[in-house]
Amino acid sequence: MNTVDYLRISLIDRCNFRCQYCMPEGAELDYILRQELLSNEELLTLLQEVFIPVGFRKFRLTGGEPLLRPGVVDLVRAIAFLPETQDLAMTTNAFLLADMAQDLYDAGLRRINISLDSLVAETFDKIIGNRGRSRWQQTWEGIQAAYHVGFDPLKLNVVVIPGVNDQEVLDLAALTLNRHWHVRFIEFMPIGNSQLFGERAWVPSEELRQRIRDVFGLIESRVRGNGPADVFQIPGALGTLGFISQMSECFCDRCNRMRLSADGWLRPCLLNETGQIDLKTALRQGVHTADLREQVSQLLMIKPEINFKQRDSGTTGTYTRTMSQIGG
């Protein structure tokens, strides 16, 4: 059985972008009230007394936009210095990163994934729902800052949407030619904006690989991640190309993760709401952490059944929450 030791922690459900595929403008999102967010203390209690004792060792801070979370640097420091933490990473849109990259690094963060769906300012602004002054340059400066501070590996996540940014796949892939960056193409999932998904659908990773192969050549990389990406490389390139193909392939049987939402719901499967536990309410009602540990252990035992149900039914599930609410 796969070891589940990786927890993706959403720090906040709010965001300074409104990406079309995630939080489209006009979508009614009920933001979590501040008092309903897990506090830093509650989160650390859950990590130390519940998640670490049952075997979790790898943590990723995400959201919403994690850099909007007040006190995020202190939280990074506290988690990075827990003796059991083997890996701490963050997923961010990088808009606020230029000013925060050094502090995050000094606090102990070493791995960062940045969402960048386009190298063209106009397309980028359209995707992130920006109508004011372009936000591309500040985002790019955030990426450069992370690179210069020393984040390694630096990963760029690209959600590929037909007719929106798929024509840029070669340019995005070319970023890896002379940089130690990892560009990862993610198949668009029907979460967050079913209308856009209905109109545009998704591009299979193999089709993207073929386009890249035709122009640059493509080989399987010797660098293997421990996540869902299939890793390739342009021959001679410094960086790598990852393909996350949750629509065209099912990797549920390799799943090593659970998700904790910003308001404290533990979710065993991204695409299925079965089995969720409201840890925050339990904690606030004074339920002993030993009992919560027991509940999480039980959930770990039934997780494979939850995952496999998903495989049997294809990539469909219960999507009452967006990626920004679940913690993407």
| Contact residues: ligand SAM, CB under 6 A | 15, 21-22, 62-63, 65, 91-93, 115, 157, 159, 186, 188-189, 191-192, 323-324, 328
Residue 23 contact among ligand SAM, ligand SF4, none, beta carbon within 5 to 8 Å by kind: ligand SF4
Distance CA 80, CA 78 (A): 6
Residue 20 contact among ligand SAM, ligand SF4, none, beta carbon within 5 to 8 Å by kind: none
Can you give the binding site for ligand SF4, defined by CB under 6 A? 15, 17-19, 22-23, 63-65, 93, 115, 323-324
- Closest CB 22 distance from ligand SF4, rounded Å: 3
The residue whose Cβ lies closest to ligand SAM is 328
Whether cis (ω within 30° of 0) applies to the bond prior to 153 is yes
Q: Which residues pair with 154 in a beta bridge?
A: 112, 181
Q: Which residues pair with 60 in a beta bridge?
A: 8, 89
Residue 221 contact among ligand SAM, ligand SF4, none, beta carbon within 5 to 8 Å by kind: none
Distance CA 281, CA 284 (A): 5
CA dihedral 302, 303, 309, 310 (to 10 degrees): 170
Using the minimum distance from each CB to ligand SAM, give the nearer residue, 93 or 221: 93
- Closest CB 306 distance from ligand SAM, rounded Å: 20
Residue 18 contact among ligand SAM, ligand SF4, none, beta carbon within 5 to 8 Å by kind: ligand SF4
- Closest CB 110 distance from ligand SF4, rounded Å: 21
Using the minimum distance from each CB to ligand SF4, give the nearer residue, 176 or 324: 324
- Closest CB 233 distance from ligand SAM, rounded Å: 21
- Closest CB 19 distance from ligand SF4, rounded Å: 3
Residue 191 contact among ligand SF4, ligand SAM, none, beta carbon within 5 to 8 Å by kind: ligand SAM
- Hey, CA dihedral for 287, 288, 293, 298, is it positive or negative? negative
Using the minimum distance from each CB to ligand SF4, give the nearer residue, 142 or 216: 142
What's 142-163 look like in SS3? HHHHHHHHCCCCEEEEEEECCC
- Closest CB 295 distance from ligand SAM, rounded Å: 26
Is the CB of residue 184 less than 8 Å from the CB of residue 205? no
Spatial CA neighbour of 217 closest among 206, 230, 233: 233
What is the residue type of 199? E
- 295, containing H or E segment: helix 289-312
Is the CB of residue 225 less than 8 Å from the CB of residue 231? yes
Structure tokens at 49: 């007394």
